[in-house]
Amino acid sequence: MNILPIARTVHRHVDVEGVRVFYRECLPERRDAPVLLLLHGFPSASHQFRRLIDALGGQYRLIAPDYPGFGHTQAPAGFIYSFDALADIIEGFVQGLGLTRFVMYVFDFGAPVGFRLAERHPERIAGLIVQNGNAYAEGLSDGARDFIALRPDTPGAEETIHDLLTLDGTRSQYETGVADTSLIAPDGWTLDQHFLDLPGREQAQVALAFDYHSNVARYQLWQAWLREHTPPTLVTWGRHDPFFPEPGARAYLRDLPEAELHLFDTGHFALETHLPDIAPLIAGFLDRVWTAE
């Protein structure tokens, strides 16, 4: 009888600078299993990786934290939400777990968090998996540009952000650009909305929305980092993403001509519809990268 390598996953917390960081981690039998740090996007949390963890966690060590302001992570009153602050906490999380080398999976908000991590500790990055995580001006849709241009003194700015934080707004992020929405489980956007509706979470998201321009300002630094360090890179991308369209995926090849690029006819949350296609690509990439050094 064949025994399938099913993931055994634990759910724990690490205290980092007063923030109680929740994370999911699978425990493969191999002690030398490749390590994959999964950095989630907006408006989601580590739960967006549950199916990927189940698919690959029997063979690889997958670790998925929730940022402050997301999921089960608890931040103290007065925490100042910015992308620098999110990166500070995830840097402390990585140090707390003693992770000295890992492949980094960046999706959406995970890109600005992850690239800040990479800037600070390039020696830790064994490889990069990019899934609809933008680092190029051409990867911003017109709608994304308009949203990023919002400032606290822009008339109607907060109302525009609030509209994105409603159940309809959350669901649309999952379904826009998807041909067959029956492939998307409603649990994702339902759970996301539960977390968005918790006390203090809306204010956190508004603060991060107003800070998003700080990421665009760092794009050239991140591109220079890619050219300098040339990490092995796998790019998987939902080409109908309403925020980060296909040119953002292709732009990585300009700085990383050896990167592996796969485009899928889906939207922003590509794993929701194309896990059977993407998971084997990730597994093959981890095997190649981890044995390369």
Catalytic residue among 40, 47, 240, 268: 268
Q: Which two tokens stand for residue 7?
A: 């993931």
**Residue that is written with structure tokens 């998925």 in the block:** 64
DSSP at 158? H
Contact status, residue 244 vs residue 132, Cβ threshold 8 Å = yes
Which of 152, 174, 160 lies closest to 267, judged by CA? 174
Task: Give one word for 78, left, alpha or beta, with left for phi > 0 and alpha for psi -120 to 50.
Answer: left
Q: Which residue has the tokens 């699978």?
A: 26
Q: How far apart are CA 241 and CA 254, in angstroms?
A: 20
- Paired sense of beta strands 9-16 and 233-238, if any: unpaired
Q: Clarify whether 213 is annotated catalytic.
A: no
Which one-letter amino acid corresponds to residue 60? Answer: Y
**CB of 202 closer than 8 Å to CB of 169:** no
Q: For residue 280, give the H/E element and its range.
A: helix 270-290
Return the DSSP state at 74.
B
Question: Which residues participate in catalysis according to the annotation?
Answer: 268
